[in-house]
Chains A and B, each alone.
Chain A
Amino acid sequence: MPYPVDRLSTPALRLLTTFALVMLPWLSAQAANDALDVRIGYIQWVPDRGPVLSNVIPEPEDAGLQGAQLAIADNNTTGRFLNQHYQLESDIAASPEDALAAMDRMLAEGLTLFVVRAPADTLLALTEKAGDQALVFNAGAQDNVLRQQECPTQLLHTIPSYAMITDALAQWLNQRRWRDVLLITGTTDEDQQWAASFRRAAQRFGVTIVADKPWTFEADLRRTASRELPLFTQTDDEYDAVVVADVRGDFGEYVPFNTWLPRPVVGTQGMTPLTWHQVVESWGAAQLHSRFNEQAERHMNSEDYAAWAAVRSIGTAVTQLSDSDASDIRAFLFSDKFQLAAFKGRKLSYRGWNGQLRQPIPLVHPRGLVATAPIEGFIHPNTEMDTLGFDEPESTCDIQP
């Protein structure tokens, strides 16, 4: 047998035996006769987000890793018919140095395919270390700079940029005709990035920011939100909606229902544009959730989805190529032959200019789907999905060979 026996269930073994004897000549068009081992490295470094006011519901610590693991299982279920076997080497690092050491170790083991969930600077350091013969998928950093200025050729992004999610929100606000908004921005660098991105989106899609207020309060809002926020959300001009930029979830959860005017709250809290959420159920997504829940015993979130999409991109390419060479995979992912079926109702593909996975963005509240962007009516000559984020003419990167 080509693989260690303990990795495979008995039925899979039985099937493999059958294939080895009978089927492989049939498969020559799509699959190599030789067993193919595909090893993928997963490296995660998530900095502590600091003390936050709304710390009631903690974020799962294995977000991302569980998505990668599920995609490995999906790839293997497919791979057993093609004599392909996938394995994940994962490292949850305690510091950026640890993450770089993990990359060194994986490179020494001969890995060339990586999925990374880490802040932009660490991601770039890891990508540089991996070298231009490797392929790195960004499954965590939403920074626009990675799509516009810092674009290593071996780096692809399965997590949407801040620009994509804020464009989705601005399209929706425009379509609802809630076009005058109050923007409240937190103090962290991520909050600033999110807000800057929203300001760009507002301009692109005809939304006016009637007041732009930084959140600087130090008070504990769990006790005083109902007193502080109505005053804070008073403005000279009336707004249709309040947009909150509070990425880590510090004060934002206390904005809904505490605004001066009776208006909906959207953005990083309230109704949120994001990558993935358990309320997304159409297009077979219910099946993905069901597989994920069984494996992880929790709901699948955006980081899980981004890591899943990265590992499934590799699997989809290997199924077609019968080859796991990183540069061959990269070329295939950028070709028009690649299409990722990823439960968002459209085929997903990578943007040639900056390696971003183009994808619809769900807008959700905690218990329901509100809309999915691109919102109908925002048209584009190639694909409506390119109305979200940095389109080719705006791009200052061009990484496709």
Chain B
Amino acid sequence: MKLPFTTAALAAMIGLSAPAAASLAYVSNEKDNTISVIDTNTQEVIDTIDVGQRPRGILLSKDFTRLYICASDDDTVQVMDLATRRIIDTLPSGEDPEQFSLHPNNRHLYIANEDDAIVTVVDVETKDVLAQIDVGVEPEGMAVSPDGRWAVNTSETSSMLHWIDTTDFEIKRNMVVGQRPRHVEFSRDSKIAWASAEIGGTVHIIDVDNLEEIKQLTFQIRGVNQDKVQPVGIELTSDGRYAFVALGPANHVAVVDAQTYEVLDYLLVGSRVWQLDLNADESQLYTTNGVSGDVSVIDVESLKVLKSIPVGRYPWGVVIDPNS
């Protein structure tokens, strides 16, 4: 009696999911000068788009109509229209843009210019450069708090976090953290910032109200040399349950309890895992694996790696469009 019912239920589920539009993931391939488009339902690459040279950081506009692409070796930020998948515009970005972050106002784009030790702020509508802010050597990570108050830049060789006030574009605080800070991620309520330090092997958890470090995480994986544990990308679930930390050449993603800061698990993914993003309902996590040239898909509920999807050479960034 039970079997037909299950089958029916399954059929109903399939029936329900089929009409839903494909949710798409975009992956920048640093050494192929392309963006791979993955259908997250079938978990297959459905398109590969030629873009500028050395694409690294990518992000979606707040209305999910455009993809911004740091074309590092072209010294420009490209704007791709998601409906047509064409590059429709370029923005002045300063030299060698690597990572960037869009203010919640959907206009102010904060760009880390790695070669020039500056952060450039561009209005994406008028294309005006609003400010260029001097930061440390090799600015890399860029994050704007969801409440729009802070823009944080990491400078890799200076090993600092620079806290930029978004109202006057002035640095209000410099924090020395572990060696080679790579990435900053804010909690949804903007109260906690997570910053990874690649060579330090640490993740620094910062209380944003007091601008104080409240916790430092380290990671140990059985059978992996400690030198190879190099935290890079961080992704947080919006319910405050998990933080996922990509550990670079350790080839693992750490799962951290975002309340207790306890490391719960390490998930084996591809080689040199770099960046990660959650899909719309946060059931799946996508990771870019630079050296193995693929994307791993992790099931968030079971914390299991489901699949790896071959993309281009040296996949760098990944974003999933929740609206597509």
**Do A18 and B199 touch across chains, with their CB atoms under 8 A apart?**
no
**Count: A-B pairs, CB below 8 Å:** 87
**Do A27 and B156 touch across chains, with their CB atoms under 8 A apart?**
no
> Is residue B128 within 8 Å, beta carbon to beta carbon, of the partner chain?
no
Q: Which A residues are in CB contact (< 8 Å) with B162?
A: 81
Question: Which residues in chain B, 174-204, are within 8 Å of chain A measured between CB atoms?
Answer: 174-176, 179-180, 198-201
Question: Which residues in chain A, 369-384, are within 8 Å of chain B measured between CB atoms?
Answer: 383-384
**Do B199 and A287 touch across chains, with their CB atoms under 8 A apart?**
no
> Is residue A231 within 8 Å, beta carbon to beta carbon, of the partner chain?
no
**Do B176 and A320 touch across chains, with their CB atoms under 8 A apart?**
yes
**Do A18 and B170 touch across chains, with their CB atoms under 8 A apart?**
yes
Residue among B115, B159, B211, B227 with max Cβ neighbours from chain A (10 Å): B227
> Is residue A284 within 8 Å, beta carbon to beta carbon, of the partner chain?
yes
Chain B interface residue count, Cβ-Cβ cutoff 8 angstroms? 34
**Do B96 and A11 touch across chains, with their CB atoms under 8 A apart?**
no
**Do A23 and B134 touch across chains, with their CB atoms under 8 A apart?**
no
Of the residues B114, B138, B160, B227, contact of A81 by C-beta under 8 Å: B160
**Do B174 and A27 touch across chains, with their CB atoms under 8 A apart?**
yes
Chain B contact residues: helix, strand, loop or mixed? loop
Chain A contact residues: helix, strand, loop or mixed? helix
Segment with Cβ contacts to B, from A128-136, A162-170, A184-192, A339-347: A339-347
Q: Which residue of A lies closest to B170 (CB)?
A: A18
Q: Which residue of A lies closest to B180 (CB)?
A: A341
Q: Which residue of B lies closest to A74 (CB)?
A: B137
Q: Which A residues are in CB contact (< 8 Å) with B65?
A: none
**Do B157 and A341 touch across chains, with their CB atoms under 8 A apart?**
yes
Q: Give A345 to B174 CA distance when docked, in angstroms.
A: 25
Contact with A along B105-144 (1 / 0, CB 8 A): 0000000001101000000000000000010111000000
Instruction: State the 8 A-B residue pairs at the shortest beta-carbon distance, nearest first.
Output: A78-B158, A341-B199, A341-B180, A341-B179, A81-B174, A346-B227, A30-B176, A347-B199
A residues within 8 Å of B by Cβ?
11-12, 15, 18, 22-23, 26-27, 30-31, 74, 77-78, 80-82, 284, 287, 290-291, 294, 312, 316, 319-320, 339-341, 345-347, 383-385
28 A-B pairs within 8 Å (CB atoms) are namely A15-B171, A18-B171, A23-B171, A23-B172, A23-B174, A26-B211, A31-B176, A74-B137, A77-B157, A78-B155, A78-B160, A81-B162, A81-B174, A82-B174, A284-B138, A294-B115, A316-B159, A316-B179, A339-B200, A341-B156, A341-B198, A345-B249, A346-B227, A347-B179, A347-B199, A383-B225, A383-B227, A385-B227
